[in-house]
A and B are shown apart, each in its own frame.
Chain A
Amino acid sequence: MDEILEILEANARISLEDLEKLTGKSKKELEKSIAQYEKKGVIIKYKTMINKAKIKNENGIIALIEVRVSPQKDVGFDLVAERIYKFPEVKTCYLISGTYDLLLIVEGKNMHTVAGFVSEKLSPLSTVKGTVTHFMLKKYKEDGIILTQGEKNKRLAITY
């Protein structure tokens, strides 16, 4: 992966000045490459990762839903998936190999809203053959970042 992408993936807020110092490329070159990546859809968006467990009064629940569906002639799973991922409640949708077909990550205010989504919107679809809903209890690690207390190097402040 291009160095610019690698740095931006770790820190989207890095300034052009710092990026310049890290990569040795000029601001102009950097701006041009980044614009191209944005245009091509390589860079989709710049997002802030928030540890919601640390925000007071922040309610909400996350559910992982396994969905078994019947694929359709000619289009396979794509059309069924589209029918499902378009619901705004669905934050993530993957096609999976194994005992079920689609894995959804759904966010809702509470258990009732997620249950309502499953029983009123998802299950009634004729292509959906069955669902299993798992509610998330705690996040330990996300996108390679450990969310619980991180590790710290315990080295001395000065050594030869």
Chain B
Amino acid sequence: MKNTIAKHIEKVAPSGIREFFDLVLGMPDVISLGVGEPDFIAPWRARERAITALEEGFTSYTSNKGLFVLRQSIANFLEKKHALSYNPDTEILITVGVSEGLDLALRAILEPRDKVIVISPYFVAYPALTEIIGGRVLYLPTREEEGFKIDVKKLQALMSQQPKAIILNNPSNPTGTAYTRGELQRIWNVIKRKETIVISDEVYEELMYEGRHTCFASLDKKAQERTILLNGFSKAYAMTGFRIGYACAHEQIIAAMTKVHSFSMMCASVISQVAANEALKAQKEVVQMRLDYKRRRDFMVRELKRLGFSLDRPQGAFYCFASIKNFKINSMDFAKRLLFEEKVAVVPGRAFGKEYDSYIRISYATSLDELKQAVIAIEKFLKKLQ
């Protein structure tokens, strides 16, 4: 198969991480703190609507942009929640998860070798997709001491390289960091002097435990014009397998994204779109899930600190990005040994950027009982390390 696979595809994906994932997936009875999706099942009303959609004969394509009724519901939702106005006809596109939205956004705006700022530690798809499309990644590393938040001075320095886009993830996977309105405003003040587009992945928006989430596009009219807002139903409504996301942006950007989407995907699954529209009515369930996550976060942060990890209390998402510096071991060895010796799975920090080899990502999207078992196992493991 020599020379078969394109070089720029071959070089994508961090070494070692995939193998570690395969190890975890091949091992039975693992207590997993390594999962990037909710442990809840989608609200029944959304599932029930999917069942009736099938009974009613919803089995065909929808318009490329997605069902109008869903786009309309999303427009209403954004208007009500963030006082943001998007035209459901021209400024909203239904995508196959936020992942496809991200792919489309990058394809729509990047020329070969265009630069994209990625904040590290990052969600793995950001640099990978940028490179697959032919863009260049400009990494902006953040540090634990800064709460893993963007240092505006560093951002300013990178902006001089005329990046085409910057990808923000608020709240963030893997750190759980969430930005206040003031912090986002300071970031925007730096970006707005150039032509850079902000790709704002806000899929964890509903999972905020301190303060209110600020939608980047809601900062001001100009910010809305320059932002591609990406969001979806996976995390807030525990609907990862339904694969429904949406993109909101200036009509020219949405038209370009729709062009790509219409050739590669045609449309998102109609059953999932119908179910997603119903899910928007399940706000009570969203609130209940958030409350549950918050309690587990508080539990996990206290326990991890007690065990000697250094970490700040994450404000959103369902991850703790904990430092293992105190234990004098790199993240891959830590994760592998923890898996083999105590059957607990975590994700090595290295997966989210090479500078983060002394961190692990712990997901608390799992039952309190499992978290407790995991804490006991980790405690046992740490004793062996010392």
Contacts and interface: CB of A to CB of B under 8 A. Distances in A.
Given A157-B345, A158-B21, A22 B39 contact: no
Contacts of A160: 36, 123-125, 173, 347, 351
A7 B296 CA distance: 12
A155 B30 contact: no
A153 B40 CA distance: 7
A21 B298 contact: yes
B35 interface: yes
B113 interface: no
Interface string A98-122: 0000000000000000000000000
A138 B41 CA distance: 25
A13 to B, nearest CB: 12
Contacts of A21: 298-299, 302-303
B25 interface: yes
Contacts of B285: none
Interface string B30-46: 10101111111100000
B24 interface: yes
A18 interface: yes
A22 to B, nearest CB: 4
A159 interface: yes
B295 interface: yes
Contact of A158 (B35, B40, B302): B35
Contacts of A159: 34-37
Task: Report the contact-size class of chain A (Cβ under 8 Å from the partner).
Answer: 10 to 19
A7 B291 CA distance: 11
A158 B39 contact: no
Interface in A104-160: 151, 153, 155-160
Contacts of B240: 155
A155 B39 contact: yes
Contacts of B299: 18, 21-22
Contacts of B21: 158
Interface in A8-46: 18, 21-24
B34 A155 contact: no
Contacts of B298: 21-24
Interface string B111-153: 0000000000001110000000000000000000000000000
Contacts of A18: 299, 368, 372
A153 B39 contact: yes
Nearest to B294: A22
Contacts of B30: 157
Nearest to B47: A151
Contacts of A158: 21, 24-25, 32, 34-35, 345, 347
Contacts of B39: 153, 155
Which of A21, A24, A156 has the largest number of chain B CB atoms within 10 A? Answer: A21
B235 to A, nearest CB: 12
B379 to A, nearest CB: 14
A35 B351 CA distance: 48
Interface string B336-365: 000000000101000100000000000000
Contacts of A23: 295, 298
B362 to A, nearest CB: 12
A156 B302 contact: no
A157 B34 contact: yes
A23 B298 CA distance: 8
A160 B351 CA distance: 9
A4 B41 CA distance: 25
A138 B24 CA distance: 40
Interface of A: 7, 18, 21-24, 151, 153, 155-160
26 contacts: A18-B299, A18-B368, A18-B372, A21-B298, A22-B295, A22-B296, A23-B298, A153-B39, A155-B37, A155-B39, A157-B24, A157-B25, A157-B27, A157-B30, A157-B32, A157-B34, A158-B21, A158-B24, A158-B25, A158-B35, A158-B345, A159-B34, A159-B35, A159-B37, A160-B125, A160-B351
Given A23-B295, A23-B298, A155-B35, 16 more contacts: A21-B299, A24-B298, A153-B39, A153-B40, A153-B41, A155-B240, A156-B35, A157-B32, A157-B35, A158-B21, A158-B34, A159-B35, A159-B37, A160-B36, A160-B124, A160-B125
The 5 closest A-B pairs by CB, nearest first: A158-B34, A158-B24, A157-B32, A159-B36, A22-B295
